[in-house]
Amino acid sequence: MPWEKTFDLDEATDKAIQVFWKKGYEGTSMADLIDGMQINKGSLYNAFGSKQELFDRALLRYDQKTRATFVADLSQWEDPVAAINAFFERLLDEAQSGPESLGCFIINTAQDLPNQTPEVVNIVRASLSELEEFFETMIARGHDSGRISADVQARPTAQALLSMVVGLRLLSRGAVDPSTLTSIKDSAMRLVTSS
């Protein structure tokens, strides 16, 4: 049994994520991917099959590596308000680190849902739905512990927070200045902690 692999599939996928993240599916050419992944064309097709399969894999891996693990961590925090705050704080950090922010790969893709395959639609919907569920769970937990007013309805507020995440992420792609993003985060927290 000879030599089974040389380059790491996950590492290569991570590089593909960067390319798709910035340029989107349509805007990315195979030449872009070969450049970014530093892999030969033959190896790419041998390992991933097609551009679409690579995109699906990249999108899924991005979601698991970032959103899923982070939300799972935060879910174990004792203070749900602090957990929600930490989530938004991270969005601000990402938006302000480096010269240009890429926003969120999932949300970028969500914008293009009408032109995406059913597989991609499922991945995006599931990711957004789990994020909303995280917010809802945190708010409900805040009700129980008394940290969040019962006037703050769990589900509607969770949906509003989702929309502010989406807005913040999209606007962080060069549409507004950083101070606006901070305002958005503050208002989001006000939705949770008000009266």
Q: Which positions lie near DNA, rule CB under 7 A? A: 1-7, 28-32, 39-43, 45-47, 50-52
Q: What is the DSSP string of 59-92?
A: HHHHHIIIIIHHHHHHTT-S-HHHHHHHHHHHHH
Q: Which does 51 bind (CB under 5 to 8 A by kind): a copy of itself, DNA, none?
A: DNA
Q: Which does 43 bind (CB under 5 to 8 A by kind): DNA, a copy of itself, none?
A: DNA
Quote the tokens at residue 129: 């739905």
By the rule CB under 8 A, 5 interacts with a copy of itself = no
DSSP letter (8 states) at residue 58: H
Residue 127 CB, shortest distance to DNA, in Å, is 24
Candidate residues 100, 117, 145, 150; the one interacting with a copy of itself per rule CB under 8 A: 100
By the rule CB under 8 A, 183 interacts with a copy of itself = yes
- Report yes or no: 145 and 80 within 8 Å, Cβ to Cβ: yes
- Give the per-residue contact string, 16-35, with a copy of itself (x = CB under 8 A; - = no): ------xxx-xx--------
Q: What is the CA radius of gyration of the chain?
A: 19
Helix (H, G, I), strand (E, B) or coil at 32: helix
Residue 40 CB, shortest distance to a copy of itself, in Å, is 26
Give a three-class secondary structure readout of 122-137: HHHHHHHHHHHHHHHH
Helix (H, G, I), strand (E, B) or coil at 8: coil
Q: How far is CA 37 from CA 72, 176, 187, in A?
A: 29, 31, 39
Residue 32 CB, shortest distance to DNA, in Å, is 7
Residue 115 CB, shortest distance to DNA, in Å, is 13
- Report yes or no: 164 and 187 within 8 Å, Cβ to Cβ: yes
- Give the per-residue contact string, 143-172, with a copy of itself (x = CB under 8 A; - = no): ------------xxx-xx-xxxxxxx-xx-
**Binding region for a copy of itself (CB under 8 A):** 22-24, 26-27, 100, 102-103, 107-108, 110-115, 121, 124-125, 128, 132, 155-157, 159-160, 162-168, 170-171, 173-176, 180, 183-184, 186-188, 190-191, 194-195
